[in-house]
Amino acid sequence: MMGLLMPHPLPQLEAPPPPTAPASTRRQQSLRDSHGRAIHDLRLSITDRCNFRCRYCMEPDDRFLPKRSLLSTDEYMRVVDAAISVGIRKVRITGGEPTMCPDLDLIVRELGKRDLDDLAMTTNGWRLVVSTVNRWREDGLTRLTFSLDTLREDRFATITRSSSSVFDVIHSIENALMGGLPQPKVNVVALRHFNEDEFADFADLARDLDIDVRFIEYMPLDSGRAWTRDRVVAEQDILASISARHRLEEVSLSNRHSTSRSYRFADGAPGRIGIIAPVTRPFCGACNRLRITAEGAVRPCLFSNREWDLRPLLRHNATTDDLAQFLVDAVWTKQAGHGIGLEGFQQPERGMSAIGG
């Protein structure tokens, strides 16, 4: 049966908070889970709406949350302020598709005023002009990541179920470069029997535009729950496909929390290749991320099966300290790993667009 992103009712105020973190963690007021991982990276979804229906993410009849369920810009900022107070240093704006949010410019501007080391955004690139990129950059946005899974127009229509095009996305990437945001990233979901013959073509794109192209193993986050292991293109197969055309050299990264392995072209050409392999090479032990959905649900892990709802606190004038303590307690529940491939693994009830990338 197809999954539906059915509207969630507003929570009851008596809904239980997350389990309380130990006193030592509460005194430190830092985001640290029970496995010793410090959390510094927040993925903030500002909408569950998207104008694409990518087959590995959504079904054609998926429904969006009612607008009254989503947080307001002021509420997002209150959450971010609380998160910064307990150690968050990076924020990535996600969706859904963030450019579907009518308050996106205001959100970027307000986040740009915060004390952050990095402010990034992920988009499908369906409409992006140079003036918009200039405005976001001036307001504090530091990076853009684009989603693009094929360079063939017929396949693009098939995978996205949209009226947009490969040309639109590549034009948006070029506009990001012209707007002054350095070396945008392009995320490619590697899908067996779909785009595995295009990996070297994407490497050509990285060289031509001097951008980072990152291949991501297909994960069980589709609302239709059709994921199967045999659709996963493993890291070594992605590398082999690209290496048949371009010789690559691995780049040592100083950031131990990076989810990808990075490669440069051995002939010195511009651009880089990254491979994110959560299925065949889990990196959960180094995870430093926290996710908050568009309606204020705290998800300590992308594959969490429990969420902790901030809306009752936000809508009853909780203080920044109250919100921060809620986040500290929620992060303490973060699971050790996603468990894909292990007996008893349960795919999240919600798809990626409802969770936030």
pLDDT at 303: 86
- Is pLDDT of 148 > 90? yes
Instruction: Over range 109-114, report the average pLDDT.
Output: 98
Of 215, 148, 135, nearest to 175 by C-alpha is 135
pLDDT at 255: 66
pLDDT at 349: 81
Q: What is the pTM of this model?
A: 0.90
Rounded to whole angstroms, the Cα distance separating 54 from 60 reads: 9
pLDDT at 28: 52
Structure tokens at 249: 């050299």
DSSP letter string over 226-266?
---GGGB--HHHHHHHHHTTS-EEEE--S-TT-SEEEEEET
DSSP letter string over 328-341?
HHHHHT--S---TT
Of 283, 300, 282, nearest to 291 by C-alpha is 300
Beta carbons within 10 angstroms of residue 215's beta carbon: 27
Q: What is the pLDDT of residues 295-304, one digit of tens each?
A: 999 999 988 8
Element (H, E) at 188: strand 185-190
- Is pLDDT of 323 > 80? yes
Q: What is the mean pLDDT of the chain?
A: 90
pLDDT at 73: 98
- Is pLDDT of 293 > 90? yes
pLDDT at 225: 82
Write b or e for each residue in 316-334: b if 16 or more Cβ atoms lie within 10 A of its Cβ, otherwise e: eebeeeebbbbbbbbbbbb
Instruction: Over range 310-314, report the average pLDDT.
Output: 96
- Is pLDDT of 109 > 60? yes
Of 292, 311, 313, 306, nearest to 47 by C-alpha is 292
Q: What is the pLDDT of residues 184-228, one digit of tens each?
A: 999 999 999 999 999 999 999 999 999 999 999 998 877 878 888
The domain defined by 29-355 carries CATH number 3.30.450.20: no
